[in-house]
Structure 1
């Protein structure tokens, strides 16, 4: 099953794409590593130096903390959505690049184009302010669609295209992350550790529940440029 008409590449293009996809594997692996570090490890490291006796002793929390009731939920949504986007988008691109690199070495794919780009409509995808007027091209989309590449493309589409599921998962992740970092660096001691650990696990359970309950919706998130392709009528919406 193909997302576009098969175009036979030239001999030079077949050689060049091997190195091109390999370079993208290295690039996206580095971006993923930096993204994980920045969104998971950097903040605890910065907050860990907030006070000699822990986060509770820092200047940030020595005065009234009523502002936290308003700021923290908003911060959880913004931070969670950004971190989920960074990790998911780079993971999807890394998996796509790795798959396309392997295909570029496979003689069975020598006579066909391996990937394509799909242009989104204005404001449909995550990106700089200019994308609200120009749209953005989603690249590294495998042309030949299998169940494996359909999963990869779903990861890519759900990361880059603005949708409610991504925001909900991001909010739940932001809540568990900020709460966990907070009680670990406060620090909480004694029996409170058990209580806080259980509370930290609840949003993670919520993420699993959301992913499972909305599993059928992931395949419905699709850019306008691919609405009329075989993408929407392929697995998991239809057994192939």
Structure 2
């Protein structure tokens, strides 16, 4: 009975994570798309209120860096990477649960990591990271890299996504209809440039963590890696070792 219900269970889990991923998408690029299509947002009244109230201007200046941090690394990278890979992994397990070749084995596993090592609210104990594949393929390894990026963040990607947060904020201002045409163009071009900058920095951070593109990663010394990089490498090595053990036991 449990095996017969596996496709339904994984399908429901996948739909939940898909809904969460869509919410995150709406908070990031979705807001910009809405502002561009709606075309009714104006900033003149908001700016007049800020100028008239010095205390509100001070609060605004304090909020801007916070928005850059929250929307850059948070909404544009960590939250998407912590949601859509789990949705796709769930759908992979739906397909595997319908495949007789996987009938006699577990499809996913859960590991626990120490407190404070994952994103999210503080916890009393460790955090359970579920939906990790028992049997690795090229697709699941690809998805697991985003999974690890989202749930076990590292400082390099955090810094890489800060320009994107600034670009998102500039794009919001540039899409206001009361912004003069030349200023709007300048703001949107600057926003695009910041996003491109984040893409370049993010690619370097990705390769540093997963592909060994930088000198410390090529050296292969665990002591040269950051804690996040060591965790990612250890998880990948454990997954590969378990896959080899299962293949040898079946042989």
Q: Give secondary structure in 2 for the equivalent of 1:185.
A: coil
Aligned to 1:109: 102
| Residue 152 of structure 1: how far off its partner (Å) | 0.8
The aligned residue for residue 71 of structure 2 is: 79
Give the number of aligned pairs.
Answer: 217
Which one is further off, 23-32 or 158-167? 158-167
1:163 paired to 2:163: no
Aligned residue number for residue 141 of structure 1? 132
Once the two structures are TM-superposed, the CA of residue 102 in structure 1 deviates from its matched residue by: 1.3
Deviations 1:80-129 (A, max 9, x none): 33313222211111111111111111222222211001101121111222
What is the correspondence of 1:121-200 to structure 2 with a 5 Å cutoff?
121-130=114-123, 133-185=124-176, 187-200=178-191
Cα deviation, 1:181-234, whole Å, max 9, x if unaligned, reads 0222263222223222210111111122023222323434636983761459x9
Which aligned segments of 4 or more residues in structure 1 are displaced greater than 6 angstroms?
43-46
In structure 2, distance between residues paired with 1:211 and 1:19? 36
In the alignment, structure 1 residue 204 sits paired with structure 2 residue 213: no
Matched, 1:229 2:238: yes
Q: Structure 1, unaligned stretches of length 5 or more?
A: 1-11, 235-240
SS at match of 2:175: helix
Q: Secondary structure at the match of 1:116?
A: strand
Task: Mark the runs of 5 or more structure 2 residues left unpaired by the alignment.
Answer: 211-228, 244-251
- CA deviations 1:130-171 (Å, max 9, x no partner) are 2xx412011110111122101111111110113113422442
Equivalent residues in 2 for 1:55-66 (5 A)? Answer: 55-58=43-46, 60-63=49-52, 64=54, 65=57
RMSD in angstroms over aligned alpha carbons? Answer: 3.1
Q: Which residue of 2 aligns with 1:20?
A: 9
For normalisation by structure 1, the TM-score amounts to: 0.77
| Contact 1:56–1:187 (8 Å) recurs in 2 | yes
Q: Specify which structure has the bigger relative contact order, considering alpha-carbon pairs within 8 angstroms and separated by 6 or more residues.
A: 1
Q: Scaled by the length of structure 2, what TM-score is found?
A: 0.74
Is contact 1:76-1:175 (8 Å) kept? Answer: yes
